[in-house]
């Protein structure tokens, strides 16, 4: 009987210790911008949005481990307007910012047309970048601010 109690205590302690270290695997929607025809997929480790119009601020947040470095793979294309992507901590301190404009899309499209004049219809599917961010506390906020933006963005970590 004492042996059984001992095993139960060890199991209880291991469950409590393990349970306390698990990160909440949920993305919270903190703010919603004005949208027109939006498709959005949210799961821990991935934010995907495609929109005909994004005007205003979309904020998505998730729990992280403090002082841990996270690698964010970002694919995007903005064909109209401007999209500002910010990463913030729980106190709204800016960790990183990327400004994406339609000019990037238009200038790359013109460049490809000049390089391949006989190609006909040229399409650009996405641009991409990678960011390594170290969390300053236990939360990262992804803030997408659109100024009449049309396009899509995929963020994975």
Sketch the domain layout of the chain as residue ranges: 24-156
Pairwise CA distance, residues 68 & 127, whole Å: 26
Helix, coil or strand: residue 88: strand
Instruction: For residue 82, give Cα distances in angstroms to 50, 86, 148.
Output: 14, 13, 7
The bridge status of strand 27-31 relative to strand 46-63 is antiparallel
pTM, two decimals, is 0.81
Pairwise CA distance, residues 36 & 44, whole Å: 24
Helix, coil or strand: residue 85: strand
Q: Can you list the residues of the chain whose pLDDT is less than 70? A: 1-23
pLDDT in tens, 94-138: 999 999 999 999 999 999 999 988 888 888 999 999 999 999 999
What is the reported pLDDT for 120? 81
Helix, coil or strand: residue 65: coil
Fold classification of 24-156 is Jelly Rolls (2.60.120)
């Amino acid at each position: 009987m004492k042996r059984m109690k001992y095993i139960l205590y060890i199991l209880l302690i291991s469950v409590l210790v393990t349970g306390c270290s698990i990160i909440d695997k949920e993305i919270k929607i903190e703010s919603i911008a004005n949208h027109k025809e939006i498709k959005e997929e949210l799961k821990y480790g991935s934010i995907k949005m495609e929109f005909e119009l994004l005007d205003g601020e979309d904020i998505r947040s998730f729990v992280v481990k403090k002082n841990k470095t996270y690698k964010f793979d970002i694919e995007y294309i903005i064909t109209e307007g401007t999209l500002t992507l910010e990463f913030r901590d729980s106190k709204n301190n800016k960790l990183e910012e990327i400004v994406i404009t339609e000019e990037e899309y238009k200038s790359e499209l013109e460049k490809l047309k000049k390089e391949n004049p006989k190609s006909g219809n040229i399409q650009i599917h996405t641009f991409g970048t990678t960011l390594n961010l170290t969390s300053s506390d236990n939360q990262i906020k992804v803030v997408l601010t659109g100024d009449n933006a049309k396009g899509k963005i995929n963020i994975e970590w």
